[in-house]
Amino acid sequence: MSTASWLGELNPQQRAAVEFGDGALLIIAGAGTGKTKTLACRVAHLIERGVAPDGILLLTFTRRAAAEMLHRAGQLIDPQLAAQVWGGTFHAIANRLLRTYGRAVGLSPDFTVMDQSDAADVMNLVRSELGLASRERRFPRKETLIAIYSRTVNAQEPLTDVLATRFPAYQRDAADIANVFDAYTRRKTAQQVLDYDDLLLFWEMLCQETDAGRRAADRFAHVLVDEYQDTNAVQARILRALRARVGNICVVGDDAQSIYSFRAAEVRNILDFPNEFPGTQIVTLEQNYRSTQPILAASNAVMEQARQRYTKILWSQRASRQLPQLAHCTDEAGQSAEICRRVLANRERGVALRQQAVLFRASHHSAHLEIELTRRNIPFHKYGGLKFVEAAHVKDLLALLRVLENPHDEISWFRVLLMLDGVGPRTARRIMDDLGVRSTSPGADVAGGDSREPPGSVAPVVAAPESAAPASEASRSPLATLASAPPAVPSAAIDAFAALRGALLDCLAIERAGDPPETDGDRRRSAPTLAVQVERLRRYLEPIFRLRYDNSIIRLRDLEQLERIASGYSSRSRLISDLTLDPPNSTSELAGAPWIDDDYLILSTIHSAKGCEWTAVHVIHASDGNIPSDMALSDDEGLEEERRLFYVALTRAKDQLCVYFPLRYYYHRFGMSDRHTYAQLSRFLTAPVRALFEEVTLPVVEQPLDESAAEAPQALRTRLSSLWRTPPT
DNA sequence: CATTTATAAATTTTT
DNA sequence: TTTATAAATG
């Protein structure tokens, strides 16, 4: 496509943003105003102007967003060129840069990245080692500790302030919490393991304090940042450091769509941007191309009640006589039934399932609907909520891969060893010591607060002795020790441990002491490909899973899927970090692989729906307590963010929008009962807002007693009797 | 020291 | 319902 033709498709504001030259540019882009298109065109335009593609850095909120923008840029110019652009999330880019330049800040290139639940496990470990687990007064649980820690570092706010404002219940524990954090950071550095926050912190340090980092920063002639309203203090500092010498920066965002303050995002970042970068040019995009006028009117009405005025008012030329609908249902069952009905009706009319989405505040809100969809054989794909890699069995395999990649990763070793029957925490600890997993000098880490170090020493420690020649490293590696001098294990665990040892060493093609000598001379066996390694590890896990999980078949299928994913990779470290930083978000339990490129309905949390759009959007559970969520109502700011969240949900719709309100909620959270409460309509649906909706009241649905229910007793009898009638095979 | 059993507690959003 | 901890048992 020629330059002139695609520039001609932009409106004057978009075009100004695309053609802006050097310096700082702030684009305030309302929902549906062609933000993605503008960024993609700007990237294409920069390249066409002669900027080297690998001198462009595009920071986005998800990998999906980066991929989409670069794909679009590629269509305008040359896909090969667009592919050279550095695109990804802050975390993914940090990971990539630190693999190359990490040594400057004390990181060995094979550091591993752990996700939030791994981090919580580490917290738990240090917590119990410090003897804080069992006391009269309740000490924060591991998830809470991570939340406190993450808020402290991401907001760059003193611990005491964080506790005072967000976790008042634990204010008295400040000193102990500080000890836990000390031990936590020390532990991570010793093992060359980074959590999500570390990726940002190390990146910041890299470009602020090292020559290598400064050179890397200056290589980027242009930096572009998407969803700037959802960046936090550390990310803002990274940008400042990145642009200390080369000042070309372009950020895009919408203060009305800031929905990540729980991750310490600061709307202030976008509002203060012109002060941070003097001479900033501001462009505002206000024409919405996505939604029909009535949908936009309803969305705007929700925002009009916000305390804070926002910087723009959206308008649309897409006229329509169809108002958004507010559907009153008797209960959840009515809601699910109606959605199924409408979704299928839409499909009859030619709207594909993937053009329709159901949005909700919390992941579990879709539980009932999921069951209903499954029952009716309507395929769907769920975004948000429990991720594939968070499932215990996937973590098991990932831990094995991590051990291979970073043999000093104690947490992964721990997980791997505890899988063995007859091995508990104590034995695991001893085995790890025998293997030399702990790379720090003896006595370096201690339980108890006495050996506390001065605050300055928390920061990244020296690179481990790994910088020596690889050969000598190998001889000292725990895996080499595992091959040459396997530690003794309790008799109950001998076989299981041997199996583990065999699996790990096979993956590295290390010969075991006591193996028959290799036949092909003294040439070393070559290391198997990654897919083969994963397959080997899966075979190792198979018998363990059969004993441990009752639904082991489903779980094993997940591992096969992992194997398929792995076959697309050549580097193990790449696979591990991609799985941690950009996890596939479905398990095969429901969204089976068979219809991966088939048509399916989208189910998504509102957070995960950010940046997406669909022809028809269904927003469910619009009751007070769900939207806004009860959990967020402790302060006014929380309420305001819930309002923006609701706004984000509504503005995802192109042609059709329906908001559902089930009146009755049953208490079957923990067990079944007929008791129920009556819900209140979401407080965001005030009279003036409702005036812009068409209200429909749905008839009571006769809850269809599941046909299979009648057959259930017989099925149960058959299954039971098979236990004693069928001979074991 | 590992494992089983009893008892109590919690319950959003995501890189 | 699940998930974590404490006490009892092997």
Residues A65, A210: Cα–Cα separation, whole Å = 30
Q: Which has the minimum average pLDDT: A79-88, A276-285, A576-585?
A: A576-585
Q: Which nucleotide is nearest to A144 (CA to C1')?
A: B10
CA–C1' A555–B5 (A): 27
Mean pLDDT of A20-47: 94
Task: Round to a whole number and report the distance in Å from the CA of A128 to the C1' of C8.
Answer: 22
The model's pTM is: 0.83
Chain C positions with an atom below 7 A of a protein C-beta are 1, 4-6
Interval A464-482: pLDDT, tens: 333 333 334 444 688 888 8
Query: For residue A544, what pLDDT is reported?
Result: 83
Instruction: Name the nt closest to A199 by C-alpha to C1'.
Output: B15
Which nucleotide's C1' atom has the smallest distance to the CA of A133?
C5
Positions 102-131 of A with beta carbon below 7 A from strand C are 124
A359-409 per-position pLDDT tens digit: 999 888 888 888 888 888 888 888 876 667 777 788 888 889 999 988 888
- pLDDT-derived band at A29 (thresholds 50, 70, 90) equals very high
Which tops the pLDDT comparison, A672 or A200? A200
More confident residue, A598 or A101: A101
Residue nearest to nucleotide C4 (CA to C1'): A141
Q: Give the lowest-confidence range in A435-444, A448-457, A505-514, A627-636.
A: A448-457
pLDDT-above-70 percentage for chain A: 82
Distance CA A299, CA A308 (A): 16
pLDDT class for A565, splitting at 50, 70, 90? confident
H or E stretch including A235? helix A233-242
A265-297: b (≥16 Cβ within 10 Å) or e: bbbebbeebeeebeebbebebbbbebbbebbbb
Residue whose Cα is closest to the C1' of B12:
A362
Asked whether residue A328, judged by its CB, lies under 7 Å from any atom of the DNA or RNA strand C, the reply is no
From the alpha carbon of A62, which nucleotide's C1' atom is closest?
A: B15
Which three-class secondary structure state does DSSP give residue A599? coil
Mean pLDDT of the region A489-494? 85
Taking alpha carbons only, the member of A524, A507, A525, A513 closest to residue A483 is: A513
Separation in Å, CA A286 to CA A18, A84, A349, A648, A729: 16, 31, 31, 15, 68
pLDDT at A690 over 90: yes
Q: Residue A24 is inside which H or E element, if any?
A: strand A24-29
pLDDT tens-digit map of A137-153: 567 778 888 888 888 88
Tally of CB atoms within 10 A around A442: 7
**Structure confidence at residue A628 (pLDDT):** 87
Reading the block at residue A249, the tokens are 């920066």
Which tokens in the block code for residue A455?
């605050």
Q: What is the pLDDT of residue A473?
A: 47
Beta strands in A341-445 (DSSP E): 356-360, 380-383
A117 CA vs B9 C1’ separation (Å): 20
User: Above 70 in pLDDT, residue A597?
Assistant: no
Does residue A243 contact residue A277 with C-beta atoms inside 8 Å? yes
- Tens of pLDDT, residue by residue over A314-366, are 889 999 899 999 999 888 888 889 999 999 999 999 899 989 999 999 888 88
For position A180, what pLDDT does the model report?
Answer: 85
Q: Strand B closer than 7 Å to the CB of A62?
A: yes
User: Please, which residues have CB within 8 angstroms of residue A610's CB and are 6 or more apart in sequence?
Assistant: A61, A227, A257, A259, A648
Least confident span in A27-36, A278-287, A712-721: A712-721
pLDDT at A90: 95
A91 CB-to-strand B distance under 7 Å = yes
Q: What are the pLDDT digits (tens) for A497-527?
A: 999 999 999 988 766 655 555 444 444 567 7
Model pLDDT, residue A457 = 32
Query: Is residue A263's beta carbon less than 7 angstroms from any atom in nucleic acid strand C?
Result: no
Average pLDDT over residues A14-23: 94
Measure A426 CA to B2 C1' (Å). 9
Most confident of A220-234, A460-474, A671-685: A220-234
Q: What is the DSSP letter of A105?
A: G
* Shortest CA to C1' contact from A420: nucleotide: B2
- Using the CB atoms, write b or e for A535-554: b if 16+ within 10 Å: bbbbebbeebbeeeeeebee
Phi, psi of A440 (to 5 degrees): -75, 160
Q: Which residue is nearest to nucleotide B11 (CA to C1')?
A: A669
pLDDT at A133: 58
Closest CA to A175 of A230, A224, A130: A130
Please tell me the distance from the alpha carbon of residue A727 to that of residue A729, in angstroms, as a whole number: 6
The Cα–Cα gap between A14 and A706 comes to 54
Q: Determine the pLDDT at residue A512.
A: 62
- What is residue A145's predicted lDDT score, i.e. its pLDDT? 85
pLDDT of residue A676: 63
Is there contact between A632 and strand B, defined as CB under 7 Å from any strand atom? Answer: yes
